[in-house]
Amino acid sequence: VAPATMNAFELISKSQGLNLSSLFEK
């Protein structure tokens, strides 16, 4: 993806720290 078209919030939302599905992994 060309940087100029990147959405900063879209980038941020991919943080592993925001992926709570990990809480449910056994």
Fill in the per-residue mask, 1 to 26: x = in contact with another protein (CB under 8 A), - = not in contact: --xx-xxxxxxxxxxxxxxxxxxx-x
CB of 1 to another protein, least distance (A): 10
| Cα 14 versus chain centre, distance | 1
User: How many Cα atoms are found within 13 Å in the side-chain-facing hemisphere of 21?
Assistant: 4
CB of 4 to another protein, least distance (A): 6
Q: Which amino acid is at 7?
A: N
CB of 2 to another protein, least distance (A): 10
The C-alpha atoms of residue 4 and residue 21 are separated, in whole angstroms, by 30
Residues that bind another protein (CB under 8 A): 3-4, 6-24, 26
